[in-house]
Amino acid sequence: MIRIAAVGDVHLGEDMRGGLRPALDKVGEHADVLLLAGDLTRHGTVAEAAVVADEFADLAVPVVAVLGNHDHQDDKPLQVTKTLQDKGIHVLEGSTFVAEINGCTLGVAGVKGFGGGFAGKCGSAFGEREMKAFIQHTCDIAACLEQALSELDTDIKVALTHYAPVPDTLRGEPPEIYPFLGSYLLGEAIDATGTHLAVHGHAHFGTEQGMTPGGVRVRNVAQPIIRSAYAVYVMEAAAA
């Protein structure tokens, strides 16, 4: 059994320092690992990343994160990443985290993800340079996610993104903005790789529960949705 805590969209800044810490200090009582689904900062500054790094440092469980769009706002994603890594946070972008917990192996593959829309209602890499770049960015990220997930050989495989892989967990958001909230290409990567759970954030007005076309559970853990410091999901390795 593995207990997975997860939260996204905490949007920390100096004005929030220490705000999550009372709940985080007890995360070991609730969970075995903590996933952060992006938008950890407000403006993506290194100063805000330092607040995030301090907030999630020295917890009782490993912390695994992806960045979100807010974490790119200051155009310093590499410095933000390093600031988090320096405090022991595992930051994924096309990469994986593996741990053995309670005799069960857990693998997490993470990417920021991007928009583009969902099957039948999505953009194409065609036309203006800007449109091609927009969709190609999603294609590239989805390919990275699929590669990282396919490299995992663990009892439980989790996909961690900021953007949504399915429209289910966007219910409550205006349908017109779905193309800015996620992409079916992420869901396709999840379904192609024997993944057991997909966790994302980004959609503050969405809903927590969803499922990919291939039957993989999806959870939107944006903090305004889960309304706590983190949500906890209990999983077990599938019977051989």
Partner 1 sequence: MESEQYLAANLRRTVAEDPRTAELGVRIVVRGDHAMVSGDVACEDRRRALEEVLHEVAPELTILNDVRVTPAGEPDGEEDLR
Residues that bind partner 1 (CB under 8 A): 1, 3, 5, 9-12, 15-16, 19-20, 22-23, 26, 30, 42-43, 70, 73, 197, 204-205, 217, 222-224, 226-236
Contact partners, residue 183, CB within 8 Å, separation at least 6: 113, 114, 115, 116, 117, 118, 122, 138, 142, 163, 164, 165
Two structure tokens written together for 25: 């200090």
Chain length of the chain: 240
Q: How far is CA 145 from CA 32, 88, 114, in A?
A: 23, 22, 12
Q: Would you say 63 or 231 has its CB closer to partner 1? A: 231
What percent helix, strand, coil does the chain show, rounded to 5? 30, 30, 40
Shortest CB 120 distance to partner 1, Å: 25
Element (H, E) at 123: none
Separation between Cα atoms, residue 89 and residue 174, nearest integer Å:
34
Shortest CB 226 distance to partner 1, Å: 7
Q: Would you say 124 or 228 has its CB closer to partner 1? A: 228
Phi, psi for 106 (deg, rounded to 5): -115, 130
Shortest CB 113 distance to partner 1, Å: 16
Q: Would you say 95 or 180 has its CB closer to partner 1? A: 180
Q: Would you say 11 or 90 has its CB closer to partner 1? A: 11
Shortest CB 147 distance to partner 1, Å: 25
Shortest CB 78 distance to partner 1, Å: 21
Q: Would you say 48 or 188 has its CB closer to partner 1? A: 48
Nearest Cα residue to 192 out of 143, 121, 236, 122: 143
Two structure tokens written together for 163: 């953007």
